[in-house]
Amino acid sequence: MSQNTPHNSKADRKVTYEEVYKSLYTGIMAGHFEPGKALSIRGLAKDLGCSPMPIRESIRRLVALGALEMQSTRRISVARMTGKRFDEILTARTLLEPEIAARALPKCSKKLIRKLEQIDKELDQAIKKGSTDEYTEKNWAFHFTLYEVAECPILFRLIESVWLQFGPFMRMVTGRLGTTYQVDQHVKALAALKDKDEAALREAIRLDIYDGMQRIAQDLED
């Protein structure tokens, strides 16, 4: 960048907005904000070291995705989990995610499978350590690394919106219940990718969703 370029140029503002949005997006997706937590534009701007403008723009985008809620009082908070919302999320996930995984299957290279195996290995290490944060982030990374390959932007955005709405609650529940699971459906999904077995891949993704969401459902009932 030229020294004569103003610091608050349009290009700079765009970069700042993308960085801020990515930070908030990642924080919500990984469950770093608790469900129902009130958010302050000034507080977020101070934490991220930026002006309020990119915070406001990012919040508007995240409200549109359902990750944040804006009340009539202009109060902004992380989306809460209710029984009705949970049922819709479970239905959406079990319909959309096996489908996008199936569409990714023909485009999965050996390099991608090795990358997914490495992510799953890191997820297993997080489980052994009992690290909820790492477990949440690696689980997210496994799914979205696979889904991106499908190159289905509409499906991807729908799934992204759903994950943003349950990410904070899933992180909170995982923190209370621990990171153990009975069957590693990721291993089954990887085997299906190697075998080019669409039916097995769909079932592995469906069961992975169902098993995880049932843990959340139990906590929601409690």
* Digit-coded pLDDT (tens) for 53-104: 999 999 999 998 888 988 766 789 988 888 888 899 999 999 999 999 999 9
* Higher-pLDDT residue of 174, 97: 97
Which regions of the chain carry the CATH code 1.20.120.530? 83-221
* Higher-pLDDT residue of 168, 73: 168
Confidence at residue 134, expressed as pLDDT on a 0 to 100 scale = 86
Confidence at residue 10, expressed as pLDDT on a 0 to 100 scale = 44
Question: pTM (2 decimals)?
Answer: 0.79
Instruction: Specify which residues 39 forms β-bridges with.
Output: 76
Query: Rounded to 5 degrees, what are φ and ψ at 78?
Result: -70, 140
Residue 202 has pLDDT above 60, yes or no: yes
- Do residues 190 and 138 lie in contact, with contact meaning Cβ atoms separated by under 8 Å? no
Most confident of the following: 22-36, 62-76, 132-146? 132-146
Six-digit token string for 181: 């699971």
- Do residues 32 and 24 lie in contact, with contact meaning Cβ atoms separated by under 8 Å? no
Range with the poorest average pLDDT among 25-39, 151-165, 184-198: 25-39
- Give the whole-angstrom CA distance, residue 80 versus residue 144: 23
Q: Is the dihedral of CA 64, 168, 206, 185 positive or negative?
A: positive
Question: 83-221 sits in which CATH class?
Answer: mainly alpha
Mean pLDDT of the chain: 84
Confidence at residue 12, expressed as pLDDT on a 0 to 100 scale = 45
- Range 171-176 average pLDDT: 66
Give the type of residue at 78.
V
Confidence at residue 119, expressed as pLDDT on a 0 to 100 scale = 96
CATH 3.40.50.720 fits 10-78, yes or no: no
Which regions of the chain carry the CATH code 1.10.10.10? 10-78
Confidence at residue 179, expressed as pLDDT on a 0 to 100 scale = 52
